[in-house]
Amino acid sequence: MESNRQKKIASVLQRDLVEVLQGAASQGGLRHIIISVTKVKVTVDLSIAKVYLSIFPISKGKEMLEGIRSNTPLIKHELAQRTRHQLRKMPQLAFFIDDSLEYIDNIERSLKGLDNPISDPSLLQKRKKA
């Protein structure tokens, strides 16, 4: 169960991270990429913040995540500047891709019959166990 303090810190970080990441993407000439922070989970001791990102287009997700992870110290510094009146200590940031939207989309495609292995036998290869 998350404490109110954890929730409060998570929401502050989530709000500011959206601005920092979108700003960095647009400054880097990546205006066509949308980065949203879907969830922030802060550990009980407030030392680590797990940040879940949704990146569109999905094909750029892995590349963008690597870029974000390699710039974590800069992102952390920028966040610390923005939150210095609200947070005494900035937690370590750990970034992950939130693939729940992609997962939901795949379920919807299957329910609508769009990924039908009978009409497209190539899909069967993906389903085979190794």
For the stretch 94-108, pLDDT in tens is 999 988 777 787 788
- Look up the pTM and report it: 0.75
- Choose among 50, 93, 98, 49: nearest CA to 74: 93
Confidence (pLDDT) at 24? 79
pLDDT tens digits along 50-85: 999 988 888 888 888 998 999 999 999 999 999 888
